[in-house]
Amino acid sequence: MSAVLALSGSPSPISRTASAAQATLALLEARGHTVDHIAVRELPAADLLGGNTAHPRIAGAQERIAQADGLIVATPIFKASYSGLLKSLLDLLPQKALAGKAVLPLATDGTPTHLLAVDYALRPVLSVLGARHIIEGTFLLDSAFTDRAAGSAHKHIPTPEAHTRLADALGSTPPTSSAPPKQLVVELPLEPHRAGRPAHDPRGSRVNHSVSWTHG
């Protein structure tokens, strides 16, 4: 089965972005994929900002990215763009580090004003890094999360509707079975940049090309 890694680029320890990434990984794990999660805020800040790729944890993050078949790249939106924390890690990746990988962009924000930030800010960077397929992004508003009691793993959890939207972003992947493992396949009947601008849902959603993360 495919290995999928989430990168969450929020600087907050109680991050909606990390919670959404983790919820998406849980959906994939239930379908038989191997999952992993890097919260960029937990990497050593001085080495990350100083570009010290020799540090074991920075080098380890690069290796985990290299080994993944697919990535979820999750970020809060700041100043109409993805987070500087996420950029600090992406800047350390080798040229074409995402070659051969499928990538799902995932963004969170308090307002629909920056709904297009995934397309205009994050997608070009992922393309430059060589991503094989960039799946249409998922945008979740803060209202798509509910608060959980203190002490829980994530303070903010996606609502049932948000879970549905995250599942829709992954397509109709069937549950894991006894069938032999196959590679991750992402079906994109239309190239996003050729298909015209789809309509957006300000409640926060994927917008809308037929995409699936399937068994093959």
Q: How confident is the model at residue 193 (pLDDT cuts 50, 70, 90)?
A: very low
Q: What pLDDT, on a 0 to 100 scale, did the predictor assign at position 153? A: 57
Rounded Cα gap, residues 17 and 40, in angstroms: 12
18 pLDDT higher than 70: yes
Q: Any idea what the CATH number is for the domain that residue 82 is in? A: 3.40.50.360
Query: Rounded to an integer, what distance in angstroms lies between the CA atom of residue 182 and that of residue 184?
Result: 7
Q: Tell me which DSSP letter residue 118 carries.
A: I
Could you give the 3-state DSSP secondary structure of residue 127?
Answer: helix
Q: Give the per-residue pLDDT at 114.
A: 84
What pTM was computed for the model? 0.77
136: left (phi over 0), alpha (psi -120 to 50) or beta: beta
> What's the rounded Cα separation, in Å, for the pair 26 and 24?
5
pLDDT reading at 194 higher than 50: no
What per-residue confidence (pLDDT) applies to 116? 86
Residue with tokens 């509707």: 161
Name the average pLDDT for the chain: 81
Instruction: Count the domains in the chain.
Output: 1
Q: What percent of the chain has pLDDT over 70?
A: 76
Name the residue range of residue 131's domain.
3-214
Q: Give the pLDDT score at 132.
A: 84
Cα separation, 194 vs 191, whole angstroms: 5
| pLDDT tens-digit series, residues 149-187 | 555 555 788 999 999 999 999 884 434 333 333 333 333
Q: Average pLDDT for residues 59-74, to the nearest whole number?
A: 97
pLDDT (tens digit per residue) in 115-129? 888 889 999 999 999
Average pLDDT over residues 6-23: 94
